[in-house]
Amino acid sequence: MSVTSWVSDTLVRDPSERRIFAVLGIVTALLVVGVLTGVVGLSFLLFQVSLVGMYALLSLGLNVQWGYAGLINFSVAAFWGLGAYCAALLTAPNSPLGLGLHPIYGFAAAIVVSALVALLIGIPTLRLREDYLAIASLGLAEVIRLIILNERQWTAGSSGISGIPSLLPWLPLTRLATTASVVVVLGVLIYLFLRRTHRSPWGRVLRTIRSDEDLAKALGKDTYRFKMQAFVLGSIIMAVAGAFYAHLNLYIDPSDLVPLTTFYIWIAVILGGTGSNRGAVVGAAVVIAIREGTRFLNDVPAIGSLGLDVAPLRLLFVGVLIILIMRFRPDGLLPPKDELIWPAARSDSSTANRGAAVSDGGEDQ
Amino acid sequence: MIPLQISPFQYVVNGLVFSSIIVLAAIGLSLVYSIADFANFAHGDLMTVGAFSALFSVSFLQPVLGDVGLFGLPLWFFLALAFGMLSAAVIAVLTDRFIYKPMKGSGSIGLLITSIGVALVYRASVFLSFGSDSDRYGVARQGPIPWVRETFGVAVTPRNLVVVTLATVLVVALHLTLTRTTLGRKMRATADNADLARISGIRTSEVILAMWLIGGALAAAGGVFLGLEELVRPRMGFDILLIVFAAVILGGIGSVYGAMLGGLVIGMVHELVPLFNQWGILPVGSRYAAAVAFVIMVAILLVKPSGIVGESG
């Protein structure tokens, strides 16, 4: 199997997607050239890679909930924050708990705590109508934020926690190179795991629930249990992303737990293509490009001289982007196509389908 | 040290004022939920837009009208309120015309997510036009009305009275519109069952237009009152959106009267949290007032998802 056919089989499934990957390739090439020529600092690039990796984890987590099971979870920022706070409180020597444990305990606590909180939130809300879940989860996320903000004796409140240790200090790499590699490894593992689960019988039940819950019930499936499993799994991935962020940024405070962070992740998933893991990763990269790219707007003389604040411009851009995607490309950039078909089963039928698609002018389905 | 004794009735007065604001916001949210059939996350930021439009109009109304007063507040304030209500109503209608209406096919979840985008656009526009600082309407500070304070031991300012009275007037006017006019009956029919209403020959486009006008105007009134009682801030509307949702869910989604009742209860509970804490009923203080409202909301969703007023099922 040649490299090109491997790429077209596993990543690019459609001629219309080739353009998107071409753009991504060009941007990556430009960044590499930028680093080689010294225009882009290597540590800056590594920090951005780490951020994209973290956002990709969050998007993958939300994709399990919304993309696989159709659960509207508006508490992404809260689970992210729980993970970050577990890592910070257990590992930082100057946290109010003062334990100074090894980071592995932080990650373990993030997984356990987020699974428990997801169960606690899921038990009352997952039986509700889908839009009720949206409102209830946003409300409960605000409760979590208020608790972290107000219970100073446990969480240090608004002053935040600093002095979080970095990950794997024994690796012969710079700190940012280490964190970037950690998130890439984490991301690949979780990506492969999720791709496998999506194709498994479990993933197929979730897909049925998403498109027709009554049908899934009629088939004898305990839909509530499946939704709960998806909710817990997604929340754990979000918390792992949060724990990673604590070790990337070395400082955490409650100001990142606001609903806007949740909406960023929603854009990443919808923009990438609801239900598509590839899309979740690409969407995360685009959102980081928007978030970080707008930081430099003030350096552009034309905008800098207007004296505009960049933060509201970014807010405007994000809002317009949500409206435009929902209106003109609700399926996203890389909507899921035949990922769910087991590779062995696909080999015959997909070639036939592809031939048919080309003869139809290669239109997007 | 003498303990600062606040009369329990003071909390009730604060509760009535806050409830008035929540009721006005909840009616519009409930109308959109029942007639357009989606959870409109832009409703809170529409309140902000209304409050800032009113603030904008103060700059040209105040020099013209000067210090002429009405019910203890300057006349220009009432005109600014009207201006804010009118602009929010127009913006709500335009938003529907250009954003929600072309998205008919995308279902209630598509509209819900789109409304988040709309909310961010509203808020960004307010930030870009007015900056990120909080502001005031510039109504002169007034002390509590002396005779009320002497008789009942409760501080009630003229602006408290104006907020509660105007909110009551608006709610009664809406009630009369819904029950006494043809348009009102059409609106109730559409809210009850949109398909049935359409089959019976009701032009739903007219109903939807009225819904956005009424919802936008009432949201703006709520926003202006919130700005009058506290501060005019770019995040003010979004910050109370969840409390408004709590009120709508408590009352029963789709019921305007439920929204009024839910708004009254949630607004009151929100302000009574410190009192409950004093009495040992609640283990948390006023910092968790919003959290208490959210927990009530989830509890209602669990026990009676149709709300107090709604029917079962």
* Stretch among A109-113, B94-98, B163-167, B205-209 having the lowest mean pLDDT: B205-209
Question: Residue A171: inside a domain, yes or no?
Answer: yes
- Considering its fold, how many domains does chain A have in total? 1
A96 confidence band (pLDDT: 50, 70, 90): confident
Chain A residues within an 8 Å CB radius of B128: 308-309, 312-313, 316
Question: Residue A345: inside a domain, yes or no?
Answer: no
> Percentages helix, strand, coil for chain B, rounded to the nearest 5?
75, 0, 20
Average pLDDT value for residue range A1-24: 71
Best residue of A291, A315, A324 to probe chain B, by most B CBs closer than 10 Å: A315
The pLDDT of residue A363 is: 35
Q: DSSP code of B311?
A: P
Cβ contact (<8 Å) for A131 and B290? no
Cβ contact (<8 Å) for B294 and A139? yes
**Residue A181: pLDDT over 80:** yes
User: How many pairs of residues across A and B have Cβ atoms under 8 Å apart?
Assistant: 117
| B212 vs A173, higher pLDDT | B212
Best residue of A146, A320, A326 to probe chain B, by most B CBs closer than 10 Å: A326
Question: Residue A229: inside a domain, yes or no?
Answer: yes
A36: closest CA of chain B, how far (Å): 38
Q: What is the CATH number of the domain that holds A27?
A: 1.10.3470
Name residue A284's amino acid: A
The pLDDT of residue A253 is: 92
Chain B residues within an 8 Å CB radius of A322: 113-114, 116-117, 120
Could you tell me which of A91, A261, A282, A97 has the C-alpha nearest to residue A168?
A91
* Stretch among A212-216, A238-242, B103-107, B236-240 having the lowest mean pLDDT: B103-107
Chain A residues within an 8 Å CB radius of B114: 322-323, 326-327
B311 confidence band (pLDDT: 50, 70, 90): low
Q: How many residues does chain A have?
A: 365
DSSP string of A198-209, one letter each residue = HHSHHHHHHHHH
A92 CA to centre of own chain: 25
Query: Residues with Cβ < 8 Å from A115, sequence gap 6 or more?
Result: A232, A235, A236
Chain B residues within an 8 Å CB radius of A330: 106, 110
CATH number at B6-301? 1.10.3470
A340 confidence band (pLDDT: 50, 70, 90): low
Q: DSSP code of B312?
A: P
Phi and psi torsions of B294, nearest 5°: -65, -40
Is A278 within 8 Å of A272 (Cβ atoms)?
Answer: yes
* Complex-level ipTM: 0.88
* Stretch among A167-181, A300-314, B82-96 having the lowest mean pLDDT: A300-314
**Residue B1: pLDDT over 90:** no
* Nearest-by-Cβ selection for B305 from A132, A311, A323: A132
* Stretch among A49-63, A83-97, B80-94, B279-293 having the lowest mean pLDDT: B279-293
A356 confidence band (pLDDT: 50, 70, 90): very low
The pLDDT of residue A262 is: 93
Cβ contact (<8 Å) for B117 and A129? no
Best residue of B98, B112, B113 to probe chain A, by most A CBs closer than 10 Å: B113
Rounded distance between C-alpha atoms, residue A179 and residue A40, angstroms: 19
pLDDT, tens digit, 9 for 90 and up, residues A40-81: 788 888 999 999 999 999 999 999 999 999 999 999 999 999
The pLDDT of residue B218 is: 96
**Residue A359: pLDDT over 50:** no
Cβ burial A23-57 (10 Å sphere, 16+ → b, else e):
eeeeeeeeeeeeeeeeebeeeebbbbbbbbbbbbb
Rounded distance between C-alpha atoms, residue B214 and residue B220, angstroms: 10
- Coil, strand or helix at B70: strand
Average pLDDT value for residue range B113-126: 95
Phi and psi torsions of B305, nearest 5°: -60, -15
Question: Residue A306: inside a domain, yes or no?
Answer: yes
B91 confidence band (pLDDT: 50, 70, 90): very high
| A132 vs B83, higher pLDDT | B83
* Stretch among A16-20, A330-334, B2-6, B272-276 having the lowest mean pLDDT: B2-6
Question: Residue A5: inside a domain, yes or no?
Answer: no
| A154 vs A106, higher pLDDT | A106
A342 confidence band (pLDDT: 50, 70, 90): low
Question: Residue A362: inside a domain, yes or no?
Answer: no
Residues of chain B that touch chain A, judged by Cβ-Cβ distance less than 8 Å: 38-39, 99, 102-103, 106, 108-110, 112-114, 116-125, 127-128, 131-132, 238, 242, 245-246, 249, 287-288, 290-291, 294-295, 297-298, 301-302, 305
A303: closest CA of chain B, how far (Å): 13
Chain A residues within an 8 Å CB radius of B102: 327
Cβ contact (<8 Å) for B249 and A135? yes
Six-digit token string for A224: 């509530």
Cβ contact (<8 Å) for B127 and A309? yes
Three-state SS across A273-294?
CCCCHHHHHHHHHHHHHHHHHH
**Residue B216: pLDDT over 90:** yes
The pLDDT of residue A354 is: 47
pLDDT, tens digit, 9 for 90 and up, residues B28-73: 999 998 888 899 999 999 999 999 999 999 988 888 877 777 777 8
Phi and psi torsions of A284, nearest 5°: -60, -40
The sign of the torsion formed by the CA atoms of A352, A357, A358, A359 equals positive
Rounded distance between C-alpha atoms, residue A319 and residue B205, angstroms: 26
Residue A159 domain boundaries: 13-31+42-340
- Coil, strand or helix at B122: helix
* Stretch among A53-67, A236-250, A328-342, B99-113 having the lowest mean pLDDT: A328-342
Could you tell me which of A216, A189, A188 has the C-alpha nearest to residue A68?
A216
- pTM score above 0.80: yes
Rounded distance between C-alpha atoms, residue A189 and residue A281, angstroms: 13
Question: Residue A314: inside a domain, yes or no?
Answer: yes
Rounded distance between C-alpha atoms, residue A259 and residue A79, angstroms: 12
Q: Mean pLDDT over all residues of chain A?
A: 85
B261: closest CA of chain A, how far (Å): 19
Question: Residue A55: inside a domain, yes or no?
Answer: yes
Mean pLDDT: which of A24-33, A85-94, A161-170 is highest?
A85-94
User: What distance, in Å, lies between the first and last C-alpha atoms of chain B?
Assistant: 56
Average pLDDT value for residue range A8-20: 70
**Residue B169: pLDDT over 70:** yes
B5 confidence band (pLDDT: 50, 70, 90): low
Average pLDDT value for residue range B164-178: 94
